[in-house]
Amino acid sequence: MADELLNQSATALGELIGTRQVSPVEVTERLLEYAHAENDVINAYVSFRDDAAMAEAKRAEQEISAGEYRGPLHGVPMALKHDGPKIPPGPCSGITIPIRNASAPAAELSGTVATSVTALPVTSAGNGDPAHR
């Protein structure tokens, strides 16, 4: 089921985790393994939070088991976007980038497991920048 987990939407993973069909620990481990293995090619992550993410996943698993389910993203691993100072282009392996992101408090409240930090440019979303027209 490990590879199937990587093809699920956040909503589907939330349902699987919330109904205890899969563990947040299992999903987080698999996602981190995949992200580390592929990052040399995709260069999407500037920092990984392996230890912190695994601790968050274990805490989510304990809370869910105790009936303290926070909602559909509880235990779901995902990367948060870095909103701090500009990060130089190119591989950034080994650099730890702190999470400075407006969504970090919401992620913490929802029980989301923050696995890594990505620094995809805002313009990658096509925010009206003339270069994306």
DSSP letter string, 88-113: PSS--TT-------TTHHHHHHHT-E
Per-residue tokens: 130: 């003339």
What pLDDT sits at residue 87?
A: 47
What pLDDT sits at residue 76?
A: 93
What pLDDT sits at residue 116?
A: 80
What pLDDT sits at residue 80?
A: 79
The label of the residue with tokens 């199937």 reads 4
Residue scoring higher pLDDT (109 or 63): 63
The pLDDT of residue 128 is above 60: no
pLDDT-based confidence at 104, cuts 50/70/90? low
